[in-house]
A and B are shown apart, each in its own frame.
Chain A
Amino acid sequence: MPISMTATPDMEFVNEIIANGGDTVNMCFQCGTCTASCPSGRQTSFRTRQLVRMAQLGMKDEVLSSEELWYCTTCYTCTERCPRDVAIVDILIAMRNLAVASGNMFEGHKKVAKSLMKSGHTVPINDEVKAQRAALGLAEVPPTVLASEKAKKDFDKILEATGFNKTVGE
Chain B
Amino acid sequence: MAETKKKSKPKAKSKAKSKATYAFFLGCIAPLRYPGIEKSTRDVCNALGIELVDFNDASCCPAPGVIRSFDRKTWLAAAARNLALAEKQGVNILTICNGCYGSLADAAHELNHDEALRKDVNAILAEIGLEYSGGTEVRHFADVLFNDIGLDAIKKAVTNPLELKVATFYGCHFLKPTDVKYLDDPENPTMLDDMVEATGASSMFRKDKMMCCGAGGGLRSEFSDFAMKFTEENLKNMKDGGAEVIVDICPFCHLQFDRGQQELKGYDMPVLHLSQLYALAMGMDQKDLGLDAHLTPVKL
Give the interface of A toward B (CB within 8 A): 20-21, 39-40, 43-44, 70-77, 79-80, 87, 89, 93-94, 96-97, 100-101, 105-109, 111-113, 116, 120-126, 129, 132-133, 136-138, 142-145, 147-148, 150-151, 154-155, 157-159, 161-164, 167-168
Given contacts A89-B177, A109-B222, A162-B73, contact A72 B217 (CB under 8 A): yes
Bound CA–CA A21/B233 (angstroms): 32
Q: Are B172 and A76 in contact (CB under 8 A)?
A: yes
Number of A-B contacts (CB under 8 A): 209
Which residue on chain A has the smallest CB distance to residue B78? A158
Kindly provide the distance from the CB of B103 to the nearest chain A CB, expressed in whole angstroms: 11
Q: Which residues of A contact B223 (CB under 8 A)?
A: 70-71, 108
Q: Are B214 and A76 in contact (CB under 8 A)?
A: no
Q: Are B81 and A158 in contact (CB under 8 A)?
A: yes
Q: Are B60 and A93 in contact (CB under 8 A)?
A: no
Q: Are A77 and B29 in contact (CB under 8 A)?
A: no
Bound CA–CA A100/B218 (angstroms): 13
A73-B212, A164-B70, A167-B70 given; 9 more Cβ-contact pairs under 8 Å = A73-B217, A73-B230, A109-B222, A112-B66, A122-B66, A132-B36, A132-B292, A143-B55, A144-B57
B160 at the interface (CB under 8 A from A): no
Given contacts A123-B32, A132-B292, contact A74 B67 (CB under 8 A): no
Report which of B56, B65, B81 forms a contact with A73, defined as CB distance below 8 A.
B65
Q: Are A142 and B26 in contact (CB under 8 A)?
A: yes
Report which of A96, A97, A144 forms a contact with B26, defined as CB distance below 8 A.
A144
Chain B window 21-41, contacts with chain A (Cβ cutoff 8 Å), 1 for yes, 0 for no: 000001011011101101100
Q: Which residues of A contact B226 (CB under 8 A)?
A: 40, 43-44, 71
Q: Are B66 and A109 in contact (CB under 8 A)?
A: yes
Bound CA–CA A122/B216 (angstroms): 13
Q: Are A162 and B216 in contact (CB under 8 A)?
A: no
Q: Which residues of A contact B229 (CB under 8 A)?
A: 43
Q: Are A75 and B176 in contact (CB under 8 A)?
A: yes
Q: Are A97 and B69 in contact (CB under 8 A)?
A: yes
Q: Is the interface of A mostly helix, strand, loop or mixed?
A: helix
Bound CA–CA A76/B177 (angstroms): 6
B270 at the interface (CB under 8 A from A): no
Q: Are A145 and B66 in contact (CB under 8 A)?
A: no
Report which of A87, A113, A136 forms a contact with B70, defined as CB distance below 8 A.
A113
Bound CA–CA A4/B203 (angstroms): 48
B288 at the interface (CB under 8 A from A): yes
Q: Are B230 and A129 in contact (CB under 8 A)?
A: no
Q: Which residues of B contact A100 (CB under 8 A)?
A: 69-71
Q: Which residues of A contact B68 (CB under 8 A)?
A: 93
Q: Which residues of B contact A122 (CB under 8 A)?
A: 28, 60, 62-63, 66-67
Bound CA–CA A20/B81 (angstroms): 21
B91 at the interface (CB under 8 A from A): no
Bound CA–CA A142/B67 (angstroms): 22
Q: Are B70 and A157 in contact (CB under 8 A)?
A: no
Residues of B64-86 contacting chain A, CB below 8 A: 64-74, 77-78, 81
Q: Are B124 and A162 in contact (CB under 8 A)?
A: yes
Report which of A107, A148, A154 forms a contact with B128, defined as CB distance below 8 A.
A154
Bound CA–CA A72/B218 (angstroms): 8
Q: Are A21 and B67 in contact (CB under 8 A)?
A: no
Bound CA–CA A123/B130 (angstroms): 26
Q: Which residues of B contact A137 (CB under 8 A)?
A: 39
Bound CA–CA A60/B173 (angstroms): 29
Bound CA–CA A159/B128 (angstroms): 12
Given contacts A77-B210, A138-B39, contact A123 B176 (CB under 8 A): no
Report which of B64, B125, B221 forms a contact with A112, defined as CB distance below 8 A.
B221
Given contacts A133-B31, A136-B36, A143-B55, contact A162 B212 (CB under 8 A): no
Provide a sorted-by-A list of 16 A–B residue pairs whose CB atoms are within 8 angstroms. Answer: A43-B226, A70-B218, A70-B223, A73-B212, A73-B216, A109-B66, A111-B221, A113-B66, A116-B59, A123-B28, A132-B36, A138-B35, A151-B56, A158-B78, A158-B124, A167-B74
